[in-house]
């Protein structure tokens, strides 16, 4: 019996740690929690009374007809604002303030492990969420009693909003832990974190407002569950990735530059998610809920790809050492395609883009020929700019990240490799969804890959609608690829990246480092 109780106590040791108590005391004693708590309850009360006063009395079951749905939407909106913006930013603000005042160093020199620090701060935010939700429970019950919405739907959306709040708290703590106090003060942190949190979880309000009937019939549609699955996948990636980074050997919060680059690379993934959410909002009224399946596929591919990419960052990582050794001995001499996935392998990345270009030319021609015969003008135009949108998006994800990361944050060396690999993976996923769009004969997968927003402006170029029209814009595609390649080459000023590329060139030409040094007359360096 004692062993069972001891195991039970050990299981909840992280939950009842001193960090939770400290954070809850700070939150309840501060001014933000009572102010927003009273504002939330006051707004909910006023909105509830206004809807009841303006509604007409019904004759069935003594209920006020039809206002339960409207009240529930208002209450869900209030809960989304509080749980996904107020609570995460409050937790991030406390952590950023501790780091700015250097009081966080007292926790680092104590016996509390980094895992307990992270878990304690996130748990305190979750407890604060529970307090807000408990205050809204009476209003939610009344909205159900007034009719227009069924109990399973209420419970589903409450769980979904709560889960979104938990993921937002994790993202907020991660943002505050990886932002340098000298570079990012509290105001920019709140602004940047708020934008990321609001946009990255924009699917939840889209689901709430696009639901026409709040009854059990929505659970019978598989499109509804694929949309919910896409939200869950995005949250699992965001929360699990942030928690794993906080538990890594770099300690918490990471002081080296690699962890900062991981944060900005994570922001790039959020930008991809935001693009898909924006397309979802544009086409939700057109009945394209089933196309969210492709968005689920794209998001579920990120954990493996991103973990694989992180292996090239750490200098002491065995995989990184093995890859560099294989480059030097020329093992990949006859496989330049693999250089797209190796540090500094921009030559292989260029070969990959050219290979994709050659593959897309016949598909673009066949699309132009078939659509000109069987589809209407609008559908033909939408299908034809898929290849051009793909390469336009390659340009976007190649040029903008390099300009942003290298020039603003002065990222060099090993950190630059992570940016290169991350951009490469994002581009490949977009290309994969573009191929899905081409092979299936539907242009909807590209909407969820983020291609439509960047390719819609190019719609006016496609007026021919046949094989000649597809070939006519081949120079534009080649120009986009060459421009992306030039932009990539402009930022190869890092010494380590140059060394890796030189090693790759020597391996392709069959020249080992020892031979190169013997030719130059200089002894090889360790």
Are 484 and 380 within one domain? yes
CA distance 297 to 167: 20
If asked whether residues 415 and 314 sit together in one domain, one would say yes
Nearest to 163 by CA among 175, 151, 171: 171
Q: Domain for residue 411, yes or no?
A: yes
403: in domain: yes
Asked if 294 and 433 touch (Cβ cutoff 8 Å), the reply is: yes
Are the C-beta atoms of residues 92 and 190 closer than 8 Å to each other? yes
- Give residue 503's pLDDT: 58
Based on the domain organization, do 340 and 463 belong to the same domain? Answer: yes
Q: What is the pLDDT along the chain (526 residues), one digit of tens a residue?
A: 445 555 555 555 555 677 788 888 877 777 888 888 888 888 888 888 887 777 655 444 444 456 777 788 788 888 888 887 888 888 878 877 777 777 766 666 666 766 677 777 878 888 889 889 988 888 888 887 877 777 777 887 788 788 778 777 776 776 666 544 434 334 444 444 444 444 445 555 555 555 555 556 666 665 566 556 555 555 554 554 444 444 443 333 333 333 444 444 444 444 444 444 444 444 444 444 444 434 433 443 333 334 333 333 333 344 444 544 554 554 444 333 343 334 333 443 444 444 444 544 444 444 444 444 444 444 444 444 444 444 444 444 444 444 444 544 454 554 455 555 555 555 555 555 555 555 555 555 444 444 333 333 333 333 333 333 334 444 444 444 444 444 444 444 444 445 555 555 565 555 544 444 444 454 444 4
Number of folded domains that form the chain: 2
The answer to whether residues 356 and 431 touch, using CB atoms and an 8 Å cutoff, is yes
Identify the CA nearest to 476 among candidates 361, 347, 367: 361
Token readout for 424 is 């490469």
Nearest 5°: CA angle at 115, between 303 and 413?
Answer: 55
For residue 304, being part of any structural domain is answered with: no
Instruction: Report the alpha-carbon distance of residue 95 to residue 23 in Å, rounded.
Output: 10
Please name which of 202, 191, 190, 195 lies closest in space to residue 91, comparing C-alpha atoms.
190
On whether both 246 and 365 belong to a single domain, the answer is: no
Centre a 10 Å sphere on the Cβ of residue 298 and count the other Cβ atoms it contains. 24
What's the pLDDT at 434? Answer: 53
Tokens, residue 508 = 């392709």
Is residue 35 located within the same domain as residue 181? Answer: yes
Q: Indicate if 361 and 488 belong to the same structural domain.
A: yes
Q: Output the furthest CA–CA distance in the chain (Å, rounded).
A: 99
**Same-domain pairing of 351 and 475:** yes
pLDDT confidence of residue 519: 45
Do 118 and 245 contact (CB within 8 A), yes or no? Answer: no
**pLDDT at residue number 254:** 37
Sign of the alpha-carbon dihedral angle for 345, 346, 350, 352: positive
Same domain, 66 and 141: yes
Which residues, at least 6 apart from 33, have a Cβ–Cβ distance to it below 8 Å? 27, 90, 128
The pLDDT tens digits of the residues spanning 117-173 come to 777 787 888 888 988 998 888 888 888 787 777 777 788 778 878 877 877 777 677
302: in domain:
no
Burial 409-425 (b: 16+ CB within 10 A, else e): eebeebbbbbbbbbbbb
Q: How far apart are the first and last CA of the chain?
A: 60
**End residue of a domain, out of 229, 254, 279:** 254
Extract the tokens encoding 32. 């933000």
User: What distance lies between CA 446 and its chain's CA centroid?
Assistant: 17
pLDDT at res. 18: 78
Q: Measure the CA–CA gap between 78 and 48, rounded to whole angstroms.
A: 12
Supply 164's token pair. Answer: 């979104």
Cis upstream peptide for 498 (omega within 30°): no
498-503 own/partner pairs: CB under 8 Å, 24+ apart? 498/344, 499/344, 500/324, 500/327, 500/342, 500/343, 500/344, 501/344, 501/345, 501/346, 501/347, 503/324, 503/327, 503/328, 503/344
Q: Do residues 236 and 371 both lie within one domain? A: no
Q: What is the pLDDT of residues 90-102, one digit of tens each?
A: 887 887 777 777 7
Whether 124 and 233 share a structural domain: yes
For residues 315 and 220, state if they share a domain.
no
Beta bridge partners of 149: 214
Which has the closest alpha carbon to 265: 331, 228, 313?
313
Q: Where are the alpha helices (DSSP H) in 407-473?
A: 414-440, 444-448, 452-455, 467-472
Q: Which residues contact 512 (CB under 8 A, 6 or more apart)?
A: 328, 329, 330, 506
Alpha-carbon distance 502 to 413, whole Å? 15
Distance CA 59, CA 312 (A): 68
Distance (Å, rounded) from C-alpha 431 to C-alpha 433?
A: 5
Is residue 282 domain-resident?
no
> Per the domain annotation, does 300 fall within a domain?
no
- Domain residues for the domain of 39 are 15-254
| pLDDT of the residue at 440 | 55
Collapsed DSSP state (helix, strand, coil) of residue 214: strand
pLDDT value of position 147 = 72
Q: Are 404 and 386 in contact (CB under 8 A)?
A: no
- Asked whether residue 383 is domain-assigned, the answer is yes
Domain boundary among 233, 254, 275: 254
> Is residue 64 classed as helix, strand or coil in its secondary structure?
strand
Which of 254, 270, 299 finishes a domain? 254
Distance (Å, whole) CA 223 – CA 242: 29
**Which two tokens mark 217?**
């019939």
φ and ψ of 202, to 5 deg? -70, -10
How many C-beta atoms surround the C-beta of residue 292 within 10 A? 25
Residues 27 and 135 in one domain: yes
* Residue 6 falls inside a structural domain: no
């Amino acid at each position: 019996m004692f062993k069972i109780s001891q195991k039970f106590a050990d299981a909840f040791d992280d939950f009842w740690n001193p960090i939770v108590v400290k954070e809850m005391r700070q939150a309840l004693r501060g001014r933000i929690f009572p102010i927003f708590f009273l504002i939330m309850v006051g707004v909910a009360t006023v909105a509830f009374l206004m809807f009841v006063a303006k509604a007409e009395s019904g004759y069935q079951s003594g209920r006020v007809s039809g206002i339960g749905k409207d009240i529930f939407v208002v209450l869900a909106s209030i809960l989304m604002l509080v749980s996904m913006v107020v609570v995460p930013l409050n937790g991030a603000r406390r952590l950023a303030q501790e780091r700015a005042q250097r009081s966080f160093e007292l926790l680092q020199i104590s016996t509390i492990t980094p895992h307990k620090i992270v878990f304690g701060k996130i748990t305190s935010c979750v407890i604060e969420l529970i307090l807000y939700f408990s205050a809204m429970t009476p209003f939610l019950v009344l909205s159900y009693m007034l009719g227009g919405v069924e109990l399973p739907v209420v419970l589903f959306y409450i769980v979904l909003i709560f889960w979104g709040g938990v993921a937002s708290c994790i993202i907020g703590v991660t943002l505050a832990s990886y932002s340098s106090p000298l570079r990012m003060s509290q105001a920019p942190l709140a602004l940047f974190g708020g934008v990321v949190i609001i946009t990255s979880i924009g699917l939840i309000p889209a689901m709430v407002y696009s639901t026409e009937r709040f009854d059990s019939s929505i659970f019978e549609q598989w499109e509804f569950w694929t949309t919910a699955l896409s939200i869950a996948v995005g949250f699992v990636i965001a929360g699990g990735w942030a928690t794993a980074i906080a538990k890594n050997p770099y300690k918490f919060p990471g002081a080296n530059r690699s962890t900062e680059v991981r944060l900005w690379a994570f922001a790039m993934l959020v930008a991809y998610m935001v693009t898909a959410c924006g397309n979802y909002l544009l086409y939700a009224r057109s009945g394209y809920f089933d196309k969210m399946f492709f968005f689920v596929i794209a998001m579920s591919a990120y954990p493996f790809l991103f973990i694989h990419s992180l292996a090239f960052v750490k200098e002491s990582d065995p995989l990184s050492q093995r890859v560099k050794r294989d480059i030097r001995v020329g093992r990949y001499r006859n496989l330049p395609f693999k250089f797209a996935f190796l540090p500094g392998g921009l030559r292989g990345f260029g070969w990959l883009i050219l290979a994709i270009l050659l593959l897309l030319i016949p598909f673009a021609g066949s699309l132009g020929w078939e659509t000109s015969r069987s589809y209407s003008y609008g559908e033909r135009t939408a299908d034809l700019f898929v290849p051009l949108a793909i390469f336009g998006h390659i340009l976007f994800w190649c040029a903008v990240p390099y300009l942003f990361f290298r020039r603003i944050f002065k990222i060099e060396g090993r950190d630059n490799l992570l940016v290169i690999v991350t951009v490469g993976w994002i581009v490949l996923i977009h290309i994969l969804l573009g191929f899905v769009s081409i092979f299936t004969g539907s242009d909807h997968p590209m909407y969820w890959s983020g291609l439509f927003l960047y390719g819609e402006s190019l719609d006016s170029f496609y007026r021919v609608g046949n094989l000649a029209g597809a070939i006519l814009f081949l120079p534009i595609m080649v120009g986009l690829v060459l421009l992306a390649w030039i932009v990539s080459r402009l930022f190869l000023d890092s010494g380590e990246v140059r060394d890796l590329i030189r090693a790759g060139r020597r391996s392709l030409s069959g020249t080992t480092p020892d031979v190169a040094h013997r030719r130059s007359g200089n002894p090889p360096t360790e």
